């Protein structure tokens, strides 16, 4: 099968801990991994980087036995292994902590750590020994948690610590962490860094998957770059600078440039005054002009999403006035707002933005059903034409008959956008439109947004936590803190610092008053 496999790079290491040789994996037509070969040394922190869809998670799945490779072998300490499930991998000393916590919320911390391998006394679970062992384990790792507490009462970070405690064992050889800090605060991340370094000293190979450059820089001894399912390079961290690493990841240099706006602003397309929703946000007034892109920054949980959703008619209890194209509209339901040319793209595209089991065509046509039917019947050819046009315009990968579930995150997002563009909206509310999509697709989405604003004269309101993105794309930035509009900054005066000050500074002041 692997006759044409390129000769694996021979590293002069004294026997690798884990060796990946010629691993290939296809999901139907999509090539997730293509003859990937490289090695993990013992006692190192090895960062695995690459854009979304580069094959990192698939590789982890293959190593831990969650997925069956089409070809290739995994060797642990020189011996070929093929685990049938993550438990077998763990028994052999290979453990992974995935992006989303996989815990039992109704059970205690101790039980979560020991499920599947309970300490026994006779036929019974020895609960005392279990609590004791859990306490010792948590203390060893420097986590201050009560083992009898229910996981349902933990913070996200604590839940993640439980998962790590579960994975860590005296015979642990390889620990794989898939984007472990994406939900953690800086303080919590520090704790995790310290723990990982400790594990390395104890002899474990830590595989660290991350999008955060400074984190990789800080932790990694070795860096492996994957791109489009292929192995690009494995090198000591000292030999790869940031620029090179990004270039290797995307295959070209991508910089988020500020693009000077061309064309003037028109009259206000969307104007809101004194919007309030009890306990959520208060007295919000702003407008978005024809052809303008307005960014909404603020901490997660500040009420940004709720404001956009309320404008889209998802919170009928909201008070205040909303004007679209100068005429007053009562946002009682999404259907009303769609009729007035307002579209909303939710953050959670997989559960709210697309219908994953349906084809690209069906997804794109869904909001345009009224326009596409004749005497109550859908006109299939019109539907396909519409989908084909949008696919072309947004360069969506995949055939229009493919189910959306077969696409990558970035392409799903494009389908979600296409769905609304097909209705020819006047006002577009985007909630984290590039969250979780790779750098290349991100730039494409930005281009699409600019094009919509400049040529189609759409008014765009974009919520984003990605400050470089906000600065690159928007004409103006609104900052929300604790449900209040704390700043309205023209892009010329905006910087990460000014936005942050408005997002955090005022919030503490408001809190002090309350």
Partner 1 sequence: MRTAAGLAHALRELGGLSGGAGALRIRFIGVIVFQFLLIVVFTALAPRFLTWDNAQSILFTAAILAIAACGQTLVVLTGNLDLSVGSIMGLTGYIVFSIASQAPGLQPFVIVIAIVFGVALGAFNGFLVAVLEIPSIVATLGTLSIYRGLVSFYANATEVTSGELPRWMRTLAETSWLGLSSYVWIALVTVLIVGGMLRMLPWGRQIYAYGSNPRAAHFYGLNSTRIVIGAYIGAGLIAAIAGLLLGAQVGNINSLLASGIELSVLAAVVIGGVSIWGGTGSVYGAVIGAIVLATINNGLVLLQVQEFYRLVLQGGAIVAAVAVDAVVQKRVQSATTRRRIMGVEA
User: What is the smallest separation between the CB atom of 279 and partner 1, expressed in angstroms?
Assistant: 12
d(C-alpha 443, C-alpha 120), whole Å: 55
If binding is defined by CB under 8 A, does position 111 make contact with partner 1? yes
**Closer residue to partner 1 in complex, CB, 322/494:** 494
Interface residue with partner 1 among 120, 128, 274, 371 (CB under 8 A) is: 120
Select the span of 99-107, 256-264, 368-376, 394-402 touching partner 1 (CB under 8 A).
99-107
**Closer residue to partner 1 in complex, CB, 4/144:** 144
Interface residue with partner 1 among 98, 143, 208, 344 (CB under 8 A) is: 98
**Binders of partner 1 in range 152-181 (CB under 8 A):** 152-154, 156, 159
If binding is defined by CB under 8 A, does position 100 make contact with partner 1? yes
**Closer residue to partner 1 in complex, CB, 21/97:** 97
For 31-57, the DSSP string reads EEEEEEEEEE-SS-EEEEE--TTSSHH
If binding is defined by CB under 8 A, does position 362 make contact with partner 1? no
d(C-alpha 310, C-alpha 288), whole Å: 16
For 96-127, the DSSP string reads EE-SS----TTSBHHHHHHTTS--EETTEE-H
- Kindly tell me the burial class for residue 313, based on how many C-beta atoms sit within 10 Å of its own C-beta (0-12, 13-18, 19 or more): buried
d(C-alpha 368, C-alpha 345), whole Å: 15
Interface residue with partner 1 among 61, 86, 331, 398 (CB under 8 A) is: 86
Q: Write the interaction track for partner 1 spanning residues 475-504; mark x where CB under 8 A is met and - where it is not.
A: ---------------------xx--x--x-
Lookup: tokens for 88? 């077998």
Phi and psi at residue 171, to the nearest 5° = -100, 25
**Closer residue to partner 1 in complex, CB, 154/387:** 154
Select the span of 20-28, 94-102, 194-202, 262-270 touching partner 1 (CB under 8 A).
94-102
If binding is defined by CB under 8 A, does position 80 make contact with partner 1? no
If binding is defined by CB under 8 A, does position 183 make contact with partner 1? yes
User: What is the smallest separation between the CB atom of 105 and partner 1, expressed in angstroms?
Assistant: 5
Interface residue with partner 1 among 52, 73, 182, 244 (CB under 8 A) is: 182
User: What is the smallest separation between the CB atom of 118 and partner 1, expressed in angstroms?
Assistant: 5
If binding is defined by CB under 8 A, does position 233 make contact with partner 1? no
**How many positions of this chain bind partner 1 (CB under 8 A)?**
48
Lookup: tokens for 466? 């990605």
**Closer residue to partner 1 in complex, CB, 120/371:** 120
Distance set, CA 301 to CA 183, 347, 482, 484 (Å)? 13, 13, 8, 12
User: What is the smallest separation between the CB atom of 195 and partner 1, expressed in angstroms?
Assistant: 19
If binding is defined by CB under 8 A, does position 279 make contact with partner 1? no
Query: Is-contact 498 476, C-beta < 8 A?
Result: no
d(C-alpha 86, C-alpha 100), whole Å: 15
Lookup: tokens for 115? 């499920």
- Kindly tell me the burial class for residue 209, based on how many C-beta atoms sit within 10 Å of its own C-beta (0-12, 13-18, 19 or more): buried
Select the span of 4-12, 109-117, 241-249, 333-341 touching partner 1 (CB under 8 A).
109-117
Interface residue with partner 1 among 150, 250, 314, 355 (CB under 8 A) is: 150
For 232-294, the DSSP string reads EEEEEGGG--HHHHHHHHHSS----PPPPP-S---SEEEEEEEEEETTTEEEEEEEEETT-EE
**Closer residue to partner 1 in complex, CB, 151/430:** 151
If binding is defined by CB under 8 A, does position 81 make contact with partner 1? no
If binding is defined by CB under 8 A, does position 214 make contact with partner 1? yes
If binding is defined by CB under 8 A, does position 40 make contact with partner 1? no
Q: Which of 55, 71, 70, 74 is nearest to 16 (CA)?
A: 74
If binding is defined by CB under 8 A, does position 255 make contact with partner 1? no
Select the span of 20-28, 237-245, 367-375, 460-468 touching partner 1 (CB under 8 A).
460-468
User: What is the smallest separation between the CB atom of 71 and partner 1, expressed in angstroms?
Assistant: 25
Select the span of 37-45, 124-132, 419-427, 484-492 touching partner 1 (CB under 8 A).
124-132
First to last CA, the chain: 68
Give buried/exposed letters for 46-80 (b at 16+ CB in 10 A, else e).
bbbbbbbbbbbbbbbbbbbbbbebebbebbbeeee
d(C-alpha 461, C-alpha 482), whole Å: 19
If binding is defined by CB under 8 A, does position 68 make contact with partner 1? no
Select the span of 33-41, 79-87, 274-282, 382-390 touching partner 1 (CB under 8 A).
79-87
If binding is defined by CB under 8 A, does position 300 make contact with partner 1? yes
Q: Which of 354, 367, 477, 363 is nearest to 413 (CA)?
A: 354
If binding is defined by CB under 8 A, does position 420 make contact with partner 1? no
Handedness of CA 199, 190, 63, 220 (dihedral sign): negative
Distance set, CA 123 to CA 120, 126, 223 (Å)? 7, 9, 47
Lookup: tokens for 195? 């723990």
Interface residue with partner 1 among 6, 15, 203, 301 (CB under 8 A) is: 301
User: What is the smallest separation between the CB atom of 467 and partner 1, expressed in angstroms?
Assistant: 6
The H-assigned helical ranges of 125-271 are 127-140, 156-167, 186-201, 213-219, 242-250
Residues that bind partner 1 (CB under 8 A): 85-88, 90, 98, 100-107, 111, 115-116, 118, 120, 123-125, 127, 149-154, 156, 159, 182-185, 214, 298-301, 465-468, 496-497, 500, 503
């Amino acid at each position: 099968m692997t006759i044409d496999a390129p000769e694996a790079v021979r590293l002069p290491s004294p026997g690798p801990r884990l060796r990946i040789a010629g691993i290939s994996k296809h999901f139907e037509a999509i090539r997730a991994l293509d003859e990937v070969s490289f090695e993990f040394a013992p006692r190192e922190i090895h960062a695995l980087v690459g854009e979304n869809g580069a094959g990192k998670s698939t590789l982890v799945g293959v190593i831990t036995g969650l997925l069956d490779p089409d070809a290739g072998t995994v060797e642990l300490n020189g011996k070929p292994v093929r685990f049938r499930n993550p438990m077998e991998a763990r028994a052999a000393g290979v453990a992974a902590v995935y992006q989303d916590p996989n815990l039992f919320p109704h059970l205690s911390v101790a039980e979560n750590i020991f499920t599947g391998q309970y300490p026994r006394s006779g036929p019974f679970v020895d609960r005392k020994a279990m609590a004791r062992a859990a306490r010792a384990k948590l203390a060893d790792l420097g986590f201050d948690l009560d083992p009898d507490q229910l996981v349902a009462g933990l913070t996200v970070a604590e839940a993640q610590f439980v998962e790590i405690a579960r994975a860590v064992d005296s015979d642990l050889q390889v620990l794989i962490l898939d984007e472990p800090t994406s939900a953690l605060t800086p303080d919590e991340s520090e704790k995790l860094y310290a723990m990982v370094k400790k594990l390395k000293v104890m002899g474990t190979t830590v595989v660290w998957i991350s999008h955060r450059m400074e984190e990789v820089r800080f932790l990694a001894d070795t860096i492996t770059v994957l791109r489009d399912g292929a192995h690009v390079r494995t090198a000591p961290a000292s030999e790869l600078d940031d620029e090179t690493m990004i270039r290797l990841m995307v295959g070209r240099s991508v910089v988020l440039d500020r693009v000077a706006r061309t064309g003037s602003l028109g009259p206000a397309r969307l104007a809101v005054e004194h919007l309030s929703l009890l306990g959520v946000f208060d007295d919000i007034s702003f407008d978005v002009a024809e052809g303008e892109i307005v960014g909404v920054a603020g901490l997660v949980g500040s009420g940004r999403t709720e404001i956009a959703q309320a404008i889209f008619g998802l919170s009928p209890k909201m008070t205040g006035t909303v004007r679209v194209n100068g005429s007053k509209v009562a946002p009682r339901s999404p259907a009303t707002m769609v009729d007035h040319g307002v579209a909303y793209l939710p953050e959670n595209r997989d559960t709210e933005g697309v219908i994953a089991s349906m084809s690209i065509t069906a997804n794109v046509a869904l909001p345009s059903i009224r326009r596409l039917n004749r005497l109550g019947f859908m006109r299939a050819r019109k539907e396909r034409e519409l989908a084909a046009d949008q696919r072309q315009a947004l360069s969506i990968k995949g055939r229009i008959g493919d189910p959306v579930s077969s696409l990558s995150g970035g392409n799903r997002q494009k389908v979600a956008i296409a769905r609304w563009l097909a209705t020819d909206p006047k006002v577009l509310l985007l909630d984290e439109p590039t969250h979780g999509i790779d750098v290349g697709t991100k730039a494409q989405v930005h281009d699409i947004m600019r094009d919509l604003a400049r040529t189609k004269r759409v008014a765009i309101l974009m919520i984003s936590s990605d400050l470089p993105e906000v600065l690159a794309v928007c004409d103006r930035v609104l900052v929300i803190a604790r449900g209040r509009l704390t700043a309205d900054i023209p892009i010329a005066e905006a910087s990460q610092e000014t936005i942050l000050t408005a997002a955090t500074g005022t919030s503490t002041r408001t809190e002090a008053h309350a």
